[in-house]
Structure 1
Amino acid sequence: MFCKRGRKGINQDTLTVWEDFNGEKGAFFCGVFDGHGPAGHRVAQHVRDQLPSKLSSVIQSLQNRGSRRDLDLVDKDDDGQENGEKERRGSNPGTCFLSSWEASFVKSFKEIDEELSLDSSIDSFCSGSTAVTMIKQGDHLVIANLGDSRAVLCTRGQKNQPVPIQLTVDLKPNIKSEADRIKKCKGRVFAMDEEPEVFRVWLPDENCPGLAMARAFGDFCLKDYGLISTPEVSYRKLTPDDEFVVLATDGVWDALSNAEVVRIVASTRKRSMAAKLLVAHAVLAWKTKYPGCKIDDCAVVCLFLKNGRPRSQSVVNNTSGGNPGRQDNAVGQKSGSNESEANPDTVLAAITDDAEESSTVDGVSRVDSLIRVPRPKAAALSRRNSAKKPKQIEVP
């Protein structure tokens, strides 16, 4: 795992990995968190520190109530044989399709968000954080996603080539179901003329705060207007062809495609360097793709599922096997491309060179939240922070 500050100020990305999660040998909890707004880094750190233990506590409470069987990540047929649970939203889900696991994630996310709303030490009214988290237990994955960070799996195709499978949906306001919910709650969704590709969430009568995601922790100025902290929970039964999962914040995905990410990680000579090398490639890609923009923060967790180094071959688009309705912006490897085969030392030098450059370098920030709500207006919009001292600050 690796996290790097960009050029927009304080690093608002963070991550965590718990081994033997919930006391189960070989179980993992992984998560990456991307804060936004003036106190976004504090929101992200709070979620990072509290969510794993909160989730463990909720799971333990279910176990203590005799619901352990509901947390078994398997389904059984009429003969009692274990079958991999069908993916979430699939047809005819099994009787114990991770309902308790989904409820545990939803309850944990809700309680963390409620704690944030009551914590006067963190001004989360116009600051928040995304989260993409995952539990691996045996050959089972449970993924809970909130916001626009992403999880991508690398599996092997029929010709033994690595294939990226996107495990999460980027929960942005341009998704119809997300936009419909926001509009139903009187929030507004639109993109500005200067960035027509970025849809944002706005208050009913004010052109603020312009949040570029549809779900998040915090951001309580919008919680009455369609923004929610309920994660989208999904499941995947691992197969012998699955090799690793990459969790990363949007600083990586804005610069690299799913296929590029899988290719870079699969070709890394040392697994311990995979996340750092991926971030270095993202930094280089930012400089090329967004030459007038400040590089975003990046956080990456690479969870390898097998012993031994992955085999490196050309990556192809995922044309089958993904979840219905899931986004996959992967692109095939171009003929003659040597991006993943570049000298690792040369690529990693990008991180050092970039770190030595001033964080005040001129450039435009691609921000997740544009304008902070004036506190007097904010106090009238929500009861959550009505007792806080009024002030007005604009998001950098």
Structure 2
Amino acid sequence: MGSGSSKDGVINKDVGSTKNSVIFVQPGLKGVCQDSALATENLILTASCGDAGSTLVGVFDGHGLSGHYVSKTARDQVPERLKAAVESTQHELAHVEGAAAREVWMRVFSGVFSDIDEELRKDLFHNRDSGSTAVVALRLGSELIVAHIGDSRCVLARTARAPPNGKSDGGTIEALQLTTDHKASNPAEKVRVQEAGGKVLNYMNTIDRIFLPGKSEPGLAVARAFGDFELKSHGLICRPDLSVRSVDPRDQFVVMGSDGVWDVLTNAEVVEIVANAWPRSKAAKQVAQKAVAKWAEEKHANSRDDISVAVLFF
């Protein structure tokens, strides 16, 4: 992505770029920044990568008193744990496709996320009531795998199909959301939490949050996360949802962000910003800058959330 891009295998943290990706974290105005991001090129390689190689990017949004610790721990552990998991299953992955391949990838990412959560569990003093979301995208050659927990989001930008009359300007970009926000208000997530004994209530006429039975805490807005161990026996899980797809010529890039982005910008707005960014190594920062401006316009400027953006170009 230019002379400032890092070398293969180097893990960029929070701000930086690789040949095919760029990340940017903009601290908010609530105190310690609890967001983090990563990007690395060709750390994970399999026979299927070919000349395209591999790119790994991720965004992590912490919450609670020690949310910064949880998000950074997850950010730091994902690359090597995922590398080891892929290497141990690459023979199996080379001989399966379709639904069978997706099952293997689910096992890989579920195992990585579970192992990170167990590592965090060793420090209950900090992580009992603190946690983090995660959205991670791995491109291996022509294959794209996206795993996520919480409400950090991944959106695919692709060239729109020509209309039936065949007339098209050839440059229209459409946004396709690849993840579903795991908010407490999500009907499926709410049912699962309630069946596990958690209590989901609307908090001060604003948003649904998860509480312990008979208590007015912790009031968590997401239904899947690392950490937050006091809720793990009441419906909160760290099992990711997964999107597995083959990258085709219409696909241009994926952009990931914490809710500091999506609370003020639509999927289409974010895709447009990235598509028009030049040089593209500034794309993530330009999304963050637009989100900062929107927070100032539409919300209380002094309560602006942390903002994390990661872009993976195809």
* TM-score (norm: length of structure 1): 0.68
Of 51, 61, 67 in structure 2, the residue corresponding to residue 34 of structure 1 is: 61
Tell me, yes or no, if structure 1 residue 14 matches structure 2 residue 18.
no
| Alpha-carbon separation, structure 1, partners of 2:85 and 2:153 | 24
* Partners of 2:295 and 2:301 within 8 A in 1: no
Partner residue, 1:316: none
Shift of 1:21: 2.8
Aligned counterparts, 1:141-160, within 5 A:
141-157=144-160, 158=162, 159=168, 160=170
Partner residue, 1:186: 197
Worse-superposed segment, 167-176 or 15-24? 15-24
- With over 3 angstroms needed to count, the CA separation of the structure-2 counterparts of 1:48 and 1:292, relative to structure 1, is closer
Shift of 1:139: 1.8
| Alpha-carbon separation, structure 2, partners of 1:177 and 1:255 | 24
Worse-superposed segment, 14-23 or 106-115? 14-23
| Alpha-carbon separation, structure 2, partners of 1:114 and 1:302 | 29
Of 50, 61, 72 in structure 1, the residue corresponding to residue 77 of structure 2 is: 50
Amino acid at match of 2:190: A
Aligned counterparts, 1:62-73, within 5 A:
62-63=89-90, 66-70=91-95
Partner residue, 1:275: 284
Shift of 1:68: 4.3
| Alpha-carbon separation, structure 1, partners of 2:130 and 2:93 | 37
Shift of 1:20: 0.4
Of 298, 312, 316 in structure 1, the residue corresponding to residue 307 of structure 2 is: 298
Shift of 1:29: 1.1
Q: As a proportion of its length, which structure holds more helix? A: 2
Amino acid at match of 1:7: L
Of 113, 128, 131 in structure 1, the residue corresponding to residue 131 of structure 2 is: 128
Tell me, yes or no, if structure 1 residue 117 matches structure 2 residue 121.
yes
Q: Secondary structure at the match of 2:61?
A: strand
Tell me, yes or no, if structure 1 residue 172 matches structure 2 residue 197.
no
Tell me, yes or no, if structure 1 residue 203 matches structure 2 residue 217.
no
**Structure 1 gap segments, 5+ residues each:** 76-84, 86-92, 306-396
| Alpha-carbon separation, structure 1, partners of 2:202 and 2:151 | 17
Shift of 1:166: 0.4
Of 231, 239, 262 in structure 2, the residue corresponding to residue 253 of structure 1 is: 262
- With over 3 angstroms needed to count, the CA separation of the structure-2 counterparts of 1:136 and 1:115, relative to structure 1, is same
Shift of 1:60: 2.0
Q: Secondary structure at the match of 2:252?
A: strand
* Partners of 2:60 and 2:71 within 8 A in 1: yes
Amino acid at match of 1:302: V
* Partners of 2:93 and 2:104 within 8 A in 1: no
The RMSD of aligned alpha carbons is: 1.5
Greater Rg over alpha carbons, structure: 1
| Alpha-carbon separation, structure 2, partners of 1:7 and 1:193 | 22
Shift of 1:97: 3.2
Shift of 1:228: 0.2
TM-superposition CA deviations, 1:306-356 (whole Å, max 9, x none) = xxxxxxxxxxxxxxxxxxxxxxxxxxxxxxxxxxxxxxxxxxxxxxxxxxx
Residue correspondences, number: 279
Amino acid at match of 1:192: Y
Partner residue, 1:137: 140
Amino acid at match of 1:146: I
**Structure 2 gap segments, 5+ residues each:** 1-22, 163-167
Amino acid at match of 2:191: D
| Alpha-carbon separation, structure 2, partners of 1:218 and 1:303 | 27
Amino acid at match of 2:188: S
